[in-house]
Structure 1
Amino acid sequence: MYDELTQCLKAEVQKGKKSFSWGRTLHCALKCADRRFYFWFRVWGYLFKTNKYGLRKFAKHRMTKLNRKYSTDINPRACIGAGLKIVHFPGVVIRGNSVIGKNAVIRQGVTIGARNSTDEGLTIIGDNVEIGANSCIIGDISIGNNVTIGALSLINKNVSDNTIVFSQNSIVYRNKGDEESITLTSIRYSQAS
């Protein structure tokens, strides 16, 4: 777990090619607000998962405060690989039963959640996945590696590797009294080259 913590801190806070150093990491965390989020997110997550020094309850409390400060709701039980990048923090929700691979890019308003309170399986997201703004990934599903999910997409089925997924929306104008005209959103899958 400690090696995973240092890999995450190097990729998300320290950045660059130099080897990991707590001094460089702390300097970067103090200097940049977004890197400060990743620093505390990883430290509190590590203490929560390992219960190091009996600090699980304290780490959960600090994680809750961090989530409130940055307008996110990321469960400390979620397993997220190194290289996480949240482009805009507000509205990001990630359930505890999530496994997200390396180099994930998440934009504002993304929800990775369960269908209902009895959903106990995992939402598995592969490496190098980019998730567009206000997208929802719902349920016990698997998303492959190198997937791009377009903005405003609803994903509730498995997605294979090297795929681009987006909602194909259309705008329908209708009179206020006309209830016959309804617009449905469909999801298209295409293989990336």
Structure 2
Amino acid sequence: MIRLRDLMLAVAITVAPVAVSAQTAPVPPVTAADRVLGRADALVTVIEYASFTCSHCGEWHTGVLPAFKARFVDTGQVRLVFRDLPTQPVQVAAQAAGIARCAAPDRFFDVASTLMSGQAALFEGAPVADWFTAAIAVSGKSQAEIETCLEDPATLQNIRAGIAGAQAAGVDGTPSFFVNGRRVADTSLEGLSAAIQPLVAGR
């Protein structure tokens, strides 16, 4: 069994006070610690704050992301940045976030897809351990390697940094999207396209 108790407790303590200030800071810039899909030199950066136990996040990843990726990411116009904001049950979401972050860098979105698409079975009562095992299977790492990574303080620090950045930017729910730093309320393909298209028009 993955030994995640320390990660679970530490992240849960961090997430507990979810108070959103009326005055918010800009969304933090992209760093080497972020998990990114797409070209580094894309004109538009879309930052997503999501949780692996958020059903709306799962619906976005299974229902919207494929078309979004084909239209914007695969054409080099957009880079998509995934940041963790664990939601209830926080312990489970934090474990999933840790596993995804510990995957081989080029496998992060494979793990994310597996976790998001596996939500339905999880919510219907499938064992959480099976959900984690499926994610590890596509991580490009062994279970032992994942466990070692989860014990690295940097893993927790990166998850905490994402949470802190989300709270500072006024994120109050998942999924939340920022297009070149501007919050976009409509997370449908059409809504995101309306925010992106003016930024790439004529380029």
- Which structure: larger Rg? 1
The question of a shared fold, defined as TM-score above 0.5 by the shorter chain, is answered with: no
| Superposition TM-score, scaled by structure 2 size | 0.25
Structure with the largest fraction of helix: 2
The structure whose RCO (Cα within 8 Å, separation 6+) is larger is: 2
TM-score relative to the length of structure 1: 0.25
Task: Choose between structure 1 and 2: higher strand proportion.
Answer: 1
